[in-house]
Amino acid sequence: MISKTMEDAINKQVNEEMYSAYLYLSMSAYFESINLKGFANWMFVQYQEEVMHAMKFYDHLKDRGGKLKLYAIAEPPSQWESPLDAFKATLKHEQHITKCINDLVDLAEKEKDRAAYNMLQWFIDEQVEEEANDEEIIAQLEMVEGSKNGLLMIDRELAKRGAQTE
């Protein structure tokens, strides 16, 4: 059985993940509006991943006799200055999520909750990957700044991202 403290902390994290989903769906819509379909696809896949993250936390609660509590999801921004601006905002957000995950790990250690600690290891690896992906795309966008051809090349690359199931 999960402790009330851990249950509350995981429920807050479900809200963080659902906000991440909202943010990336909003970014996907932004990219659609400026006709960058590849970028829109990448962000839509990211949106789906974030819902999957929230469900992973929900599964953990269910498996351990915890109860899901859904909080209101904050309204995300809907406009960015440029693709680079949107990806910089993405990286900043992921750095915030990394801190949330690290705080959860610290709490699991404090509570001696080994099951939560184990489950969180997947998220630690995931955050390394997410920040690395954002940094790579930011570096590419900085390289091609001012070049429409360069931007379209990146758009074609990002169009290839497919939905992940894990």
Q: Name the residue number minimizing CB distance to ligand OFO.
A: 20
Q: Cβ closer to ligand OFO: 94 or 155? A: 94
Of 56, 43, 40, 76, the closest CA to residue 126 belongs to 56
Residue 7 vs 50, nearer CB to ligand OFO: 50
In the complex with ligand OFO, which residue's Cβ is closer, 133 or 150? 133
Shortest CB 54 distance to ligand OFO, Å = 8
Q: In angstroms, what is the minimal distance from the CB of 153 to ligand OFO?
A: 25
- d(CA 83, CA 87) in angstroms, rounded, equals 6
Closest distance of CB 12 from ligand OFO, Å: 12
Residues that bind ligand OFO (CB under 6 A): 17, 20, 50, 53, 94, 97, 130
Nearer to ligand OFO, 17 or 151 (CB): 17
Long-range contacts of 27-31 (CB under 8 A, 24+ apart): 27/80, 27/86, 27/89, 27/90, 29/78, 30/78, 30/79, 30/80, 30/86, 31/83, 31/86
| 79/87 Cα distance (integer angstroms) | 12
Shortest separation between residue 37's beta carbon and ligand OFO, angstroms: 22
